[in-house]
């Protein structure tokens, strides 16, 4: 997965960021032309490097490639930035070129023009960063652009009027094994930088507009302040303006979810489209609507409260005065319920000339006949529910998806049931009113009816409080605390990451509905081939599952239940491909069948079956009642079938010789098919050893167990030597930094974390020297434009080696993927790729827990090796779970003290003790007891264990 470059000669994906770095470290420049000349000067080395990679590239071909790269990452700006004021001169320059003529990389204007679209965008980006431009509709002035023209007149290039008005829709962003037609461009964002295209509502596509507000007038308020997060509470994401729609936050409860103020809702497991065309089915959102108010909007604030799971919009009007507050949430305690509540308060201040204030609601859909491109709905029906207190009118609409995932399936049912008090109103001075929309969404009318009856006689405040209480139960039992006064950015990122992950996870006691796993973009995204269509990948087990297992092991079981439910389909998939056992699909949805539209990943990226086996092992290491989990989740059968697959996928030269796994795609999706991917071979080894571990618990056996263990021991883990330093080869024949024939993108770089995952999370035994060699070798050749989770894994590795300086530098690269103001993660550091990228959040959380916490999960015990997080002295793991215990751990580096408090433990939990590296042993078995000792390497393990 990730941010694969689209050019074939390459280097240009990193070109903009490289140019920006060079510009920002330069001296202060007074004029636009000086800034431009400095940009060119500092960027020449990068430009020359591009040229040297393919000396046969003609001037025109280079221009086309650069423009395609810029197009895919930064919309139509590359084509708009034609640096000749006259198109005929531009064309004339192209005609002078001879096809196939090598490009002379000197600094003459004529020969540097193809790269100027890239350099110009770098200049815009650097200039905006220097001037703190953020969250505003912004475009360069003629004066700003004067340094970009080819003459002294300062005239804008031809077509400059289109500079910030064109956008691409549906442009592919290839994610290695497939294309995702997700994030529409038109926004350059990095950390707090949001450059938004200059456009009006009438000329923008829906995804490029600023998101509508339900009570917003037809025209947006001009020049609203761009302040964000003024309360400085790390669980509050606040802003006085909205980002483009694609960066809007979501509200969800694991069963239903929606991006705020957008037209669609998604339901877990509801897909439309057959096979590789499946994606999340779009359910019309009944909680997204606008209101027209006959007053002047003077202020607005928007807030995502992650502790309460509520999105709030507050608006103030004058002439006449009016206060509006709207709250939206997906109910955490009632999984079917989506809520929107609006209060209107008109003060009696005596200054209003108008007696009445009119409010008119404008819904985006026809409630009498719901429409969706993915679902056929029957006409809406109306009926009445009688409660103990009153009769309440509901509307009902039932439908079915248009195209099932498999031809042998029936279309999937969906049902909506809603009660609305939305109405046009007129307010007198000194009056107020409230309106609401309660929408219940499920797979059947009966399901929604039962959900509605639960809350039939409750007030809005009672409904809201039940929702907040359930969210509080999660936060009280699992979170990471950092003092926001020390590091607000980190504290907020931790809250946001856990909130978004939990928003896509079922409540643990949810019954009657099979959970269809975590997708990279979460539950609120994934329709019409965007954000990987809501499908499930290795991202679930490798990146998102570990932090959930640390804090919410019951939810981790729910994640694993999806794979258990797909076991029979995995067996069929193995048989279909000529193998034994169970082979899980690389990309799956409702049925577990292969749904990857990029056939190479479906054919070759088999390491996912090893990733799932590793997740099974991790679960059994952590929980106390292992036998119950093995029986309830069919884990023994699952382990046996995965071992059978890897045995049939391996080729051994003779009974005692080496074993190989050939023709695979490693996590580095830039290369395939290759032999003996060291990552694939190692997860296969662990999978082959998993049945033996489970047999120790169950007392069972299997006739092929010894054969599996023998194969596991003989699988090749290729190594190489460079300048006298031994390191792991990514695959047989690979040389880091050298273009390999199996590179599908024709670059020497690798895409993302691969070999370095051997140290963590896979916990391969190796010397510190070999671990460092792997880190240093692959850090040099990993694509800087790769996906979000990579650099956190490098940070974990350097923390193992006690190199905090390198670890901190790499860890802070995570912030480049967080888009303000609502903490939405992007797959790529330029704000593009998959949104809201739970995979990156999972890697980020692991970097904190397992990197800075130094926690490693082993068979029945854990190790700790705490380090200070960047710009912090104290941080805590609240509600960490292990073997039936719940711990609160605080690491105070100002006092060199760690405090371990046993909050509670289960009836089956063993007696645990805390052992330090210096030999001290402490009892942890008393609930409520707190242990405070100097910070050092330690382990938590059952008493009398070895």
| Residues labelled catalytic | 669
Cα(167)–Cα(169) distance, rounded to whole angstroms?
6
Q: Which one, of 358, 380, 354, 356, lies nearest residue 367 by Cα?
A: 380
DSSP class of residue 378? P
Cα(374)–Cα(279) distance, rounded to whole angstroms?
9
Cα-Cα end-to-end distance for the chain: 40
User: Cis (ω within 30 of 0) for the bond into 673?
Assistant: yes
DSSP class of residue 25? T
As given in the structure block, the two tokens for residue 318 are 């004058």
Q: Which run of H or E residues covers position 744?
A: none
- Contact indicator for 566, 865 with CB cutoff of 8 Å: no
Cα(666)–Cα(778) distance, rounded to whole angstroms?
14
Cα(152)–Cα(148) distance, rounded to whole angstroms?
10
939 in helix, strand or coil?
A: strand
696-703, Cβ contacts within 8 angstroms, sequence gap of 24 or more: 697/620, 697/626, 697/627, 697/630, 698/627, 698/630, 698/636, 700/636, 702/640
Count of CB atoms within 10 A of residue 639's CB?
A: 27
DSSP class of residue 540? I
Q: Which one, of 711, 746, 750, lies nearest residue 729 by Cα?
A: 750
DSSP class of residue 381? E
CA 377, 382, 388, 390 torsion: positive or negative?
A: positive
Q: 758 CB contacts (<8 Å, ≥6 apart)?
A: 678, 679, 682, 728, 764, 766, 774
Taking each helix axis as running N to C, give the angle between helix 804-811 and helix 790-800, from 0 to 180 degrees, rounded to the nearest 10: 170
CA 124, 125, 131, 132 torsion: positive or negative?
A: positive
């Amino acid at each position: 997965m990730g941010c694969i470059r689209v050019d074939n000669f390459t280097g240009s994906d990193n070109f903009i960021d490289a140019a920006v770095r060079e510009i920002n470290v330069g001296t202060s420049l007074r004029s636009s032309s000086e800034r431009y000349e400095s940009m060119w000067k500092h960027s020449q080395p990068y430009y020359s490097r591009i040229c040297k990679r393919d000396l046969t590239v003609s001037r025109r071909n280079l221009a086309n490639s650069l423009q395609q790269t810029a197009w895919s990452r930064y919309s139509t700006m590359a084509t708009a930035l034609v640096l000749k004021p006259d198109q005929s001169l531009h064309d004339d320059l192209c005609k002078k070129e001879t096809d196939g003529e090598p490009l002379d990389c000197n600094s003459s204007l004529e020969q540097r023009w193809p790269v100027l679209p890239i350099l110009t965008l770098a200049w815009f980006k650097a200039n905006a960063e220097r001037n703190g431009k953020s969250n505003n509709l912004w475009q360069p002035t003629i004066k700003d652009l004067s340094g970009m023209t080819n003459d002294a007149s300062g005239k804008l290039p031809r077509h400059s009027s289109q500079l910030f008005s064109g956008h691409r829709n549906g442009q592919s962003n290839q994610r290695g094994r497939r294309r995702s037609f997700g994030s529409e461009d038109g926004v350059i964002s990095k950390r707090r930088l949001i450059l938004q295209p200059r456009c009006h509502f009438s000329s923008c596509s829906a995804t490029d507009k600023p998101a509508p507000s339900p009570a917003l007038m037809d025209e947006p308020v001009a020049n609203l302040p761009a302040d964000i997060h003024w309360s400085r509470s790390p669980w509050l994401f606040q802003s006085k303006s909205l980002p483009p729609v694609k960066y809007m936050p979501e509200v969800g409860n694991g069963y239903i979810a929606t991006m705020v103020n957008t037209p669609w809702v998604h339901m877990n497991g509801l897909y439309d489209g057959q096979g590789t065309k499946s994606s999340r089915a779009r359910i019309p959102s009944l909680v997204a609507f606008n209101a027209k108010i006959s007053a002047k909007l003077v202020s607005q604030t928007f807030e995502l409260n992650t502790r309460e799971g509520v999105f709030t919009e507050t608006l103030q009007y004058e002439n006449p005065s009016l206060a509006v507050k709207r709250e939206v949430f997906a109910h955490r305690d009632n999984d079917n319920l989506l809520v929107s509540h609006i209060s209107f308060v008109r003060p009696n201040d005596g200054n209003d000339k108008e007696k009445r204030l009119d409010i008119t609601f404008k819904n985006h859909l026809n409630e009498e006949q719901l429409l969706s491109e993915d679902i056929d709905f029957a006409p809406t029906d109306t009926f009445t529910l009688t409660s103990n207190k009153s009769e309440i009118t509901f509307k009902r609409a039932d439908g079915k998806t248009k195209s099932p995932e498999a031809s042998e399936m029936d279309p999937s049912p969906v049902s909506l049931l809603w009660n609305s008090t939305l109405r046009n109103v007129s307010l007198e001075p000194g009056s107020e009113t409230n309106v609401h929309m309660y929408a219940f969404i499920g797979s059947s009318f009966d399901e929604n009816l039962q959900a509605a009856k639960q809350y039939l006689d409750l007030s809005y405040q009672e409904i809201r409080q039940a929702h907040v209480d359930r969210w509080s139960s999660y936060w009280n039992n699992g979170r990471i605390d950092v003092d926001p006064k020390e590091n607000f950015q980190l504290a907020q990122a931790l809250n946001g990451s856990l909130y978004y992950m939990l928003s896509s996870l079922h409540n643990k006691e949810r019954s009657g509905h099979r959970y269809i796993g975590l997708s990279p973009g979460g539950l609120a995204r994934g329709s019409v081939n965007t954000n990987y269509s809501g499908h499930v990948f290795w991202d679930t087990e490798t990146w998102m599952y570990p932090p959930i297992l640390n804090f919410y092991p019951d939810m981790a079981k729910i994640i694993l239940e999806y794979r258990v439910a797909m076991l029979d389909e995995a067996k069929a998939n193995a048989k279909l491909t000529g193998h034994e056992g169970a082979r899980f699909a690389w990309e799956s949805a409702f049925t577990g069948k292969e749904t990857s539209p990029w056939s190479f990943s479906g054919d070759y990226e088999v390491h996912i079956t090893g990733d799932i086996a590793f997740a099974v092992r991790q679960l059994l290491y952590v929980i106390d009642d292992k036998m119950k989990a093995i029986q309830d989740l069919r884990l023994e059968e699952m382990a046996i079938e995965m071992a059978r697959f890897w045995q049939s996928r391996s080729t051994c030269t003779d009974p005692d010789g080496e074993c190989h796994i050939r023709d695979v795609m490693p996590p580095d999706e830039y290369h395939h098919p290759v032999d003996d991917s060291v990552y694939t071979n190692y997860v296969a080894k662990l999978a082959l050893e998993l049945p033996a571990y489970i047999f120790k618990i169950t007392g069972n056996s299997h006739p092929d167990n010894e054969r599996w263990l023998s194969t596991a021991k003989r699988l090749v883990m290729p190594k190489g030597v460079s300048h006298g330093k031994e390191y792991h080869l990514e695959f047989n024949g690979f040389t880091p930094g050298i273009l390999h024939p199996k590179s599908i993108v024709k670059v020497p770089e690798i895409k993302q974390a691969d070999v370095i995952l051997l140290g963590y999370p896979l916990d391969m035994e190796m010397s510190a020297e070999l671990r460092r060699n792997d880190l240093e070798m692959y850090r040099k050749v990993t694509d800087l434009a790769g996906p979000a989770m990579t650099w956190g894994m490098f940070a974990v590795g350097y923390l193992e080696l006690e190199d905090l300086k390198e670890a901190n530098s790499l860890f802070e690269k995570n912030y480049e993927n967080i888009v303000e103001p609502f903490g939405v993660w992007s797959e790529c550091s330029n704000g593009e790729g998959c949104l809201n990228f739970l995979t990156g959040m999972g890697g980020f959380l692991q970097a904190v827990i397992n990197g800075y916490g130094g926690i490693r999960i082993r068979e029945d015990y854990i190790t700790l090796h705490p380090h200070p997080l960047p710009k912090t002295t104290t941080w805590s793991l609240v509600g960490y779970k292990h073997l039936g215990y719940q711990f609160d751990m605080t690491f105070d580096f100002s006092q060199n003290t760690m405090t371990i408090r046993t909050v509670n433990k289960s009836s089956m939990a063993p007696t645990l003790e805390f052992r330090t590296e210096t030999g001290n042993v402490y009892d942890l078995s008393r609930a409520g007891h707190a242990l405070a000792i100097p910070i050092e390497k330690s382990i938590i393990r059952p008493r009398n264990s070895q």
